[in-house]
C-alpha cells in the first residue's frame, strides 16, 4: 500500500491513528497474537512451552524478561548463518549494530522487513500531525544523515547501524518523497565512507539549494549542532567552492566528487550572498534561518541525552521551531511525537499499539520497601512485575519492555519513561533517561538526568562569561578511598580558575539525591572533581566510536564512562587541561 502512495493522505493517517488508539488494549492483544503466530516456529519460542497459545497471560507466564545479554547467544547464531528459525519464523537477513556508547562496543540486534514497515509507519504518523501544524511546501530537506561502514557477518548477513539499514532501504527514499522531505544531498554523500567529507558536502548541498530548503533535520539533534559548529570553521571554503564551481581538494572520494560535480556550478552571486549573510550575524545567532530563508522547522530527536544541545541549537535556529523526532531504538519503535508544537523539553511520545507488544516495569514499586512478617521493612529488590500498555498510571515512571516483530520477546530496553497522560487509550510517554547510567559509589544513585541537571546549573556560571559547555561526561574514581565523582567538561573558550572552582562546587551541590548528600557530609564520598578537557576532546571520542563502526547519525556522547571502557577513559585522561576539587561540603 505504501509503495503506491505518492503524497501522504495526512487526514487519513490521523484518522487511522485515532481509531487504533481508542482501542489500544485490543490492538495490543491482536499484535501479540500476530507476532506469536508469525514466529511460533522459532526455536526460542518453541522452547517456552506456549504450545500455540497467543494470549498475553500465557505469554507472560511462559516467556521470561530478558536483557540483550540473555539473547546474545541466539542473535550470534543468527549472525553466524544458522539455517533453522532461531528467533523469527522467517529468516533474518540483516543485523543492526546499536550504538552501545556506554559499554564501549556496539551490540547486534536483528533487523527485518517488519521493522522497516514499523519505521515507515511511525515516520508517517508523526509527519501527519506535524504537517497539520507546520505544513511544508514542495522543496528539499537538509538532512545530516550518514551511513555507517557496513560489513558481512560470519554467516553472510548484512550488518550496519539501524539508521544505515533504514537509509539504504529503497522504501526510505519513497517515504521521504511522500513526506515532501527529500534529502538535498545525493546518495553518494549519505553513504560516503568518510563522515567529515560527507558533512562538508551536506553543507554545500544545503547552500546550493538554500531557497528550497524546507526543513533541517538529523536522527539525533547532536548531528545538527555538530554540522553548524563545523560550518563556522569552513564557511569561507564553502563560499570559495560555490564561487569557482570547483569542489575543495579535501573531498577525495571519487564517487562523492563526481556526484557533487553534477550540482556545483560557478555561482559568484550566491557566494557573495552567503558571505554577506555570515558577516552580518552576531556570534552566528540565527544562522539557520539566515542561510535558509524558507525553513519551516528543525527536526531530530531532541529529548533525553540530546537536551544539552538545545541551547546551542536554539542559538542557531533563532525563532525557527524545534520539533523533536520520534522515540525508538535499534530494537524497535515505541512512540510518535503527535504534539509537534510543544517545545522539546515538554515533548511526549504516544505509543503506537500495533508496532509491538509493550510492557512496563513500574520503578516505584520495585524500590519501595515491603513489610515482612517480623514487622521489619525489607528494601531488597523485588521481582519486577510489568504492567500492560493500558495499565500504566499517569505520573509514574517505568522501564520499557519490548516484544517486537523482529525476534525480541519481553526485552528490557533499559530506558526509563514517565507517563504524562493518555491519547485516547494509549499512553503518552516522556523519555526520562537510560536506566543503567548511574553514578554510584555507595548508597548514592544519580542518573543521566541528574547529571544533566547538575551540568545545566553549573553551566549558568560560565554562560555569564559568554562561554558554554560543548559536551560533558562523567565517571567515578574509586582508586583512592573515599571514591568521588569526576565530571569532564569541554568548554568553548577560556574561563578563569575562580569561576571554574565555583562551577565545581555547584556541580557537587546540584546532586541532591539524599544518598549522595549524606555520604558527602560524612566524607563517605570524596569531593567531586571537575576535569576540564582540551577543545576537540569529544570529537576524538566521536572519531573513536566511528572507527568501531558506529555512525554519527546515531551517536550519543557517553554521559557515563564504564570503568571497562579503557579507550574512552584514556582519551579523556590524556586530554585533561585543568582539574578542580569541590569545597562545597
Ligand atoms: P540506539 O542504541 O542507537 O538504537 O539508540 C536507541 C536509544 O536512544 C534508546 O533506547 C533511547 O535511550 C535513545 N532514544 C531514542 N529515541 C529517543 C528519544 N526520542 N528521546 C530520547 N532518547 C531517545
Q: What is the pLDDT of residues 88-101, one digit of tens each?
A: 999 898 999 876 65
Residue 338 located in a structural domain: no
Question: Which residue, by CA, sits nearest to atom 21 of ligand 1?
Answer: 304
What are 121-131's pLDDT values in tens digits?
Answer: 999 999 999 99
Q: What is the arithmetic mean of pLDDT over 494-513? A: 96
pLDDT band at 4 (very low <50, low <70, confident <90, very high): very low
In a domain, 44, yes or no: no
HEC secondary structure over 315-334: HHHCCCCEEECCEEECCEEE
Pocket lining: 166 vs ligand 1, CB cutoff 6 Å: no
Residue 119, domain member (yes or no)? no
Strands, sheet with 151-152, edge to edge from the N-terminal-most edge strand? 107-111, 94-98, 158-161, 151-152
Q: Which is higher by pLDDT, 386 or 99?
A: 386
Question: Whose alpha carbon is nearest atom 9 of ligand 1?
Answer: 329
The residue among 267, 302, 320 that closes a domain is 320
Residue 6 domain-assigned (yes or no)? no
Predicted local confidence at residue 268, as pLDDT: 98
CB burial readout 37-71, b (16+ within 10 A) else e: eebbebebbeebebeeebebebbbebbebbebeeb
Residue 185 shares a structural domain with residue 315: yes
User: Cα(334) to centroid of ligand 1, in Å?
Assistant: 10
Q: How far is CA 488 from the centre of its chain?
A: 21
Q: Is the C-beta atom of 99 inside 6 A of ligand 1?
A: yes
Question: How far does residue 327's CA lie from ligand 1's centre (Å)?
Answer: 6
The atom number, within ligand 1, closest to the CA of 337 reads: 19
Residue 45 lies in a domain: no
Q: What are phi and psi of 492, to 5 degrees?
A: -80, -5
Question: Which pLDDT band, with edges at 50, 70 and 90, does 102 fall under?
Answer: low
For the CA of 554, the nearest atom of ligand 1: 3
Flag whether 173 is in a domain.
Answer: no
* Residue of 259 and 519 predicted with greater confidence: 259
509 pLDDT band, cuts 50/70/90, is very high
Range of the domain at 146: 135-150+180-320
Domain ends where: 268, 287, 320?
Answer: 320
Q: What is the mean pLDDT of the chain?
A: 92
Q: What is the pLDDT of residue 338?
A: 98
Identify the helix (H) or strand (E) that includes residue 122.
Answer: helix 113-133
How many other C-beta atoms are found inside a 10 Å radius of the C-beta of residue 104? 18
Three-class DSSP category at 431: strand
Q: Which atom of ligand 1 is nearest to the CA of 302?
A: 20
* Model confidence pLDDT, tens digit, residues 421-443: 999 999 999 999 888 767 989 88
Dmax over Cα atoms in the chain, in whole Å? Answer: 85
User: Are 455 and 307 contained in the same domain?
Assistant: no
Among 320, 351, 373, the domain-final residue is 320
**Which of 64-78, 519-533, 538-552 is predicted least confidently?**
538-552
The share of the chain scoring above pLDDT 90, in percent, equals 76
Flag whether 345 is in a domain.
no
So what's the pLDDT on residue 378? 44
Task: Output the pLDDT for position 31.
Answer: 98
- In order of 9, 450, 451, 476, 505, the CA distances from 523 in angstroms are 62, 20, 20, 15, 15
Domain total for the chain? 2
What span, in angstroms and rounded, lies between the C-alpha atoms of 194 and 251?
9
For residue 7, what pLDDT is reported? 75
Q: Residue 210 Cα, ligand 1 centroid: separation in angstroms?
A: 30
Establish if 141 belongs to a structural domain: yes
pLDDT for residue 370 is more than 50 = no
8 Å CB contact between 47 and 89: no
pLDDT surpasses 70 at 360 = yes
- Pair 145, 290 in one domain: yes
For residue 184 the three cell numbers come to: 538535498
Which ligand 1 atom sits nearest the alpha carbon of residue 331?
4
Q: How far is the CA of 558 from the centre of ligand 1 (A)?
A: 13
Q: How confident is the model at residue 196 (pLDDT cuts 50, 70, 90)?
A: very high
Torsion (CA) 180, 186, 188, 190 in degrees, nearest 10: -50
What pLDDT is stored for residue 442 in this prediction? 84
Question: pTM for this structure?
Answer: 0.88
Which residue among 167, 352, 355, 431 has the greatest number of ligand 1 atoms within 8 angstroms of its CB, and so is best to mutate?
431
State in Å: Cα 290 to ligand 1 middle.
31
Residue 551 scores a pLDDT above 60: yes
Q: What is the mean pLDDT of residues 309-330?
A: 96
Instruction: Pick the residue whose CA is nearest to atom 23 on ligand 1.
Output: 327
Pocket test for ligand 1, best of 222, 329, 336 (most atoms within 8 A of CB): 329
Amino acid at each position: 500500500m505504501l509503495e503506491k502512495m505518492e503524497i501522504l493522505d495526512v487526514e487519513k493517517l490521523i484518522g487511522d491513528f485515532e481509531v487504533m488508539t481508542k482501542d489500544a488494549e485490543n490492538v495490543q492483544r491482536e499484535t501479540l497474537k500476530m507476532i506469536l503466530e508469525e514466529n511460533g516456529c522459532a526455536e526460542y519460542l518453541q522452547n517456552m512451552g506456549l504450545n500455540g497459545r497467543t494470549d498475553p497471560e500465557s505469554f507472560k507466564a511462559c516467556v521470561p524478561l530478558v536483557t540483550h545479554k540473555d539473547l546474545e547467544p541466539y542473535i550470534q547464531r543468527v549472525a553466524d548463518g544458522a539455517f533453522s528459525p532461531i528467533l523469527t519464523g522467517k529468516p533474518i537477513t540483516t543485523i543492526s549494530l546499536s550504538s552501545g556508547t556506554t559499554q564501549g562496543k556496539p551490540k547486534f540486534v536483528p533487523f527485518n522487513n517488519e521493522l522497516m514497515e514499523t519505521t515507515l509507519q511511525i515516520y508517517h504518523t508523526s509527519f501527519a500531525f506535524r504537517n497539520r501544524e507546520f505544513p511544508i511546501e514542495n522543496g528539499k530537506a537538509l538532512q545530516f544523515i550518514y551511513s555507517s561502514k557496513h560489513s558481512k557477518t560470519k554467516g553472510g548477513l548484512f550488518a550496519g547501524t539501524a539508521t544505515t539499514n533504514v537509509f539504504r532501504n529503497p522504501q526510505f527514499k519513497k517515504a521521504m518523497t511522500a513526506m515532501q522531505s527529500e534529502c538535498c544531498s545525493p546518495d553518494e554523500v549519505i553513504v560516503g565512507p568518510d563522515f567529515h567529507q560527507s558533512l562538508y558536502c551536506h553543507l554545500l548541498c544545503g547552500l546550493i539549494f538554500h531557497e528550497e530548503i524546507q526543513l533541517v533535520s538529523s536522527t539525533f539533534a547532536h548531528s545538527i549542532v555538530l554540522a553548524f559548529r563545523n560550518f563556522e570553521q569552513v564557511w569561507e571554503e564553502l563560499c570559495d567552492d560555490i564561487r569557482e564551481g570547483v569542489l575543495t581538494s579535501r573531498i577525495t572520494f571519487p564517487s562523492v566528487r563526481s556526484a557533487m560535480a553534477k550540482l556545483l556550478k560557478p555561482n559568484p552571486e550566491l557566494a557573495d550572498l552567503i558571505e554577506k549573510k555570515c558577516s552580518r550575524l552576531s556570534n552566528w545567532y540565527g544562522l539557520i534561518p539566515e542561510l535558509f530563508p524558507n525553513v519551516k522547522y528543525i527536526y531530530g530527536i531532541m529529548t533525553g541525552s540530546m537536551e544539552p544541545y538545545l541551547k546551542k541549537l536554539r542559538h542557531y535556529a533563532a525563532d525557527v521551531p524545534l520539533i523533536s523526532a520520534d522515540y525508538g531504538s535499534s530494537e524497535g519503535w515505541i512512540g510518535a511525537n503527535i504534539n509537534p508544537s510543544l517545545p522539546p523539553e515538554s515533548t511526549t511520545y504516544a505509543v503506537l499499539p500495533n508496532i509491538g507488544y509493550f510492557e512496563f516495569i513500574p520503578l516505584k514499586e520495585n524500590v519501595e520497601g515491603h513489610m515482612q512478617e517480623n514487622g521489619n521493612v525489607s528494601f531488597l529488590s523485588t521481582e519486577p512485575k510489568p504492567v500492560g500498555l493500558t495499565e500504566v498510571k499517569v505520573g509514574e515512571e517505568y522501564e520499557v519492555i519490548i516484544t517486537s516483530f523482529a525476534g525480541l520477546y519481553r526485552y528490557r530496553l533499559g530506558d526509563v519513561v514517565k507517563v504524562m497522560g493518555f491519547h485516547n487509550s494509549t499512553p503518552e510517554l516522556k523519555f526520562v533517561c537510560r536506566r543503567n547510567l548511574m553514578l554510584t559509589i555507595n548508597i548514592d544513585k544519580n542518573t543521566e538526568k541528574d547529571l544533566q541537571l547538575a551540568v545545566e546549573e553549573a553551566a549558568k556560571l560560565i554562560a555569564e562569561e559568554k562561554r558554554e559547555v560543548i559536551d560533558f561526561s562523567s565517571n567515578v574514581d574509586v582508586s583512592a578511598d573515599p571514591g568521588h565523582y569526576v565530571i569532564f567538561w569541554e568548554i568553548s573558550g577560556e574561563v578563569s580558575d575562580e569561576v571554574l572552582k565555583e562551577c565545581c562546587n555547584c556541580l557537587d551541590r546540584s546532586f541532591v539525591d539524599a544518598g549522595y548528600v549524606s555520604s558527602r557530609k560524612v566524607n563517605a564520598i570524596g569531593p567531586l572533581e571537575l576535569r576540564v578537557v582540551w577543545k576537540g576532546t569529544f570529537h576524538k571520542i566521536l572519531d573513536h566510536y566511528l572507527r568501531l563502526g558506529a555512525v554519527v547519525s546515531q551517536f550519543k556522547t557517553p554521559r557515563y564512562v564504564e570503568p571497562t571502557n579503557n579507550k574512552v577513559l584514556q582519551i579523556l585522561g590524556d586530554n585533561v587541561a585543568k582539574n578542580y576539587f569541590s569545597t562545597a561540603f
